[in-house]
Amino acid sequence: MTSVYIVAHHQRSEAAALVLATVSWLRAHGHDAWMSPDDATAIGLDDLASDRNPGEAALAISLGGDGTMLRTVKMLDGAAVPIIGVNVGLLGYLTEVEPPGLLPALERWFATDGAAVSWRIEERMMLQIAVHRVGDRALAERWRALNEVVLEKGEAGHTVRLNVSIDGSPFTSYAADGLIVATPTGSTAYSLSVRGPVVSPQHRAMLLTPVSPHMLFDRTLVLDPDEPISIEVSGYRSVEVSVDGQRVARLQEGDTLVCTPAAETARFVRFGPRRFHQILKAKFGLSDR
């Protein structure tokens, strides 16, 4: 028996039907499935609710869009659990199959007929984020991000000043609406919307992109993973911190945020050749010529 953890989009009506079909298939084949109490209640399937640790699962299934994939990665909390992403959303950069392909995908994942493995695991770099509060540098608040961490102004109409050091050496002070530190996976998220570069998710790098900078230097830096990024809040205006779209902290003058690659990776199940540039082409409707 294999234990399967299911995460579903709360506002997509088709997600609940997919959960039922998935659970029915899994149980018919001798497997176990559960959801978090919040997810199960939100879609009206309380009988699937469990407080079990998602990291105990052998497989996770994400039913939603890229936001649900991000939430699944967060809930696994670094556990090396592979994720099958089903696109019940809009963009679906991270997901692997469309709803009609879910049960065939499960058949391929659980195949035991001795045939050659028809899937692979794609690992994606994540960020380790640590916040050190002024006056209490020994303690740190920590998070992981698959897409990005964003430091941005908390008040409309004002910029914030952020002092950046790279690999232990001062780089410059940014006067801007904010700064984004993104992974290659996150290069097609918020960073892209502020004209950051598109980077293949197979690459390992950290992208430092300013948001509406009030200075001549407005380019993204693409840094090696071995070059830690340290960002200190300068000035009296507070800074809001968001990790993968979720607000997690407010920083004051002297507080510092440090980004390094996480030891853990996100693990996505892939069932065929996945050419990132072709996915990008399809999502943006690009022509061959």
Closest to 125 measured CA to CA, from 203, 188, 224, 69: 203
In the chain, the amino acid numbered 283 is K
Catalytic residue among 39, 66, 177, 255: 66
66 catalytic residue (yes or no):
yes
Is 35:61 a contact under the CB 8 Å cutoff? no
Task: List the beta bridge partners of residue 64.
Answer: 87
One-character DSSP codes across 122-146: EEEEEEEEEEEETTEEEEEEEEEES
- Residues of 100-126 as b/e, b for ≥16 C-beta within 10 angstroms? eebeebbebbeeeeeeeeebeebebbb
Check the CA dihedral 278-280-285-289 and report its sign. Answer: negative
Which single residue is written with the structure tokens 């050749």? 273
List, by residue number, the catalytic residues: 66
